[in-house]
Structure 1
Amino acid sequence: MHRHFPERRAIASVDADFSDWHRGRRWFALWALWHEDVALAAQLARLHAHCAGLLRPGYARQPHVTLAVRGFCADHAQRPDDFTPQALARDVATLQALKLGAFVVETAGVGSFSMAPFVQLHDTDGGVAALHAALGGRQRPAYVPHWTLGLYGANWPRPVVARRLRRLPPMPRLRLPVTELALLRYDALELSGPLQLLGRYDLAHQQFSLETQYL
């Protein structure tokens, strides 16, 4: 746990509008694995419930594994973190050049970052690492593919968090096929709010389809 949680205390999630970050822009996009798997959702919900008291209430994000953040959806690039249709087209071309087919991932053990507990993903076939690298994901700090269980609601001492996580019920290892990637977005004014599906990239056919209006 110390590897991803070096601080002596957890970092609590706070209420703020982060206007210096979003500058009035609304939708923030990311590429992710989006498993609509009943068994996975049930196991993550079970672990989340066992962490009650440690976590800030109201975390509404659906289970997902972030591959690379993309920025704010925009028609035209005005700031470095704007994500335009042209940038999306470049991403799709990159994925097509990668020619990665379907692969398998597995759930692994529970761990914790300074701000959140998580279930780690075991990259069985190396597909997640390949996608993260191709999409230019951040390497520092080291990328840890995972499913977030929630956000800490207070600055809990690290030993308190560690004891609580050790008491979590064991999670059966689940093997999950990855046949597509999801382009998701969330409202920058609701940092714990739900994700919306923008589009899907089909690994078998190497094609992207837009599911909803971009902006």
Structure 2
Amino acid sequence: MHPHPDLPPDGGRCIGNVRRDFAEWHLGRPRYALWALDVDVPAVRQRMGAAQEHLAGLLLDGYQRQPHITVSLCGFPSAAPRHADDFGAAALHAHVAALRRAWPEPFDIEIGALASFASAPYLAVGDAGGRIAALRACFAAGDHNHPDGEYVPHVTVGLYADAWPMAGVRPRLDAFAAGAPLRLRIGHIGLLGYAAADIGGPLARIADYDFADGVLHWHAPPPFAHAAAAAFDTL
């Protein structure tokens, strides 16, 4: 398999990102939520930082996302959903119910070499047992927000700052000395959120679904209006 599955050929260019408020996307909605695996541990942070340094000059400044593996995009939390990409109490209940039916067990993954999509470099994720795909299936019915193309689990390193020629980017990617794959044990999946107006802004932990006890453990108030918060008492 090619290490850079979504890159244009060497005669093409990567996709540049810009730092602005994408108001036409968020429509004034302040937060966006997603399900992701938390891999924010020292070894992964170190590898991610080394990759960012290796690609210095190519990446958009100010990327602050902690290391994570996006499993499913949820949408904009809303107490009264009305847009296709709003995320309400019923959707969250359906997600948790699907997780409980699947009752996933802890599993191991590996985080390895530097690879890239057209718009963003990433650390490749190895999941020999297909457990991430099984988790992703729990959210399939309500997930309308993934970009087109095959899902590739990954740890985003940053975002390209311009439409750089691939003839120059590809050798930089290939020259990164990642070292041995990092093996991690996954025992929960997190519900995370970020400020919609801040491209590459930090993630906040909202809740974790623990594989062992099948319970959603809150780290912040439910991301809905107070009137809807009672709907989560049984999660």
TM over 0.5: yes
RMSD: 1.5
**Are 2:173 and 1:151 aligned?**
no
1:74-111 deviation digits (Å, cap 9, x = unpaired): 11111111111221111000100011111111113221
**Are 2:54 and 1:50 aligned?**
yes
Task: Write the distance in 2 (CA, Å) between the matches of 1:194 and 1:2.
Answer: 26
Alignment of 1:8-87 (within 5 A): 8-87=12-91
The answer on whether the counterparts of 2:113 and 2:124 sit within 8 Å (CA) in structure 1 is yes
**Corresponding residue for 2:228?**
none
Shift of 1:150: 0.5
**Corresponding residue for 1:5?**
7
Task: Write the distance in 2 (CA, Å) between the matches of 1:60 and 1:44.
Answer: 11
Q: Label 1:31 to 1:111 Cα distance change in 2 as closer, same or farther (>3 A).
A: same
Task: Write the distance in 1 (CA, Å) between the matches of 2:48 and 2:199.
Answer: 19
Shift of 1:35: 1.8
- The count of aligned residue pairs is 215
Q: Label 1:2 to 1:201 Cα distance change in 2 as closer, same or farther (>3 A).
A: closer
**Are 2:208 and 1:208 aligned?**
no
**Corresponding residue for 1:167?**
175
Task: Write the distance in 2 (CA, Å) between the matches of 1:162 and 1:37.
Answer: 28
**Corresponding residue for 1:187?**
195
Normalising by structure 1, report the TM-score.
0.95
Task: Write the distance in 2 (CA, Å) between the matches of 1:99 and 1:14.
Answer: 40
1:131-150 deviation digits (Å, cap 9, x = unpaired): 11221154840000000110
Q: Percent of pairs identical after alignment? A: 36
Shift of 1:129: 0.9
- Where 2:72 maps in the other structure, the secondary structure is strand
Normalising by structure 2, report the TM-score.
0.87
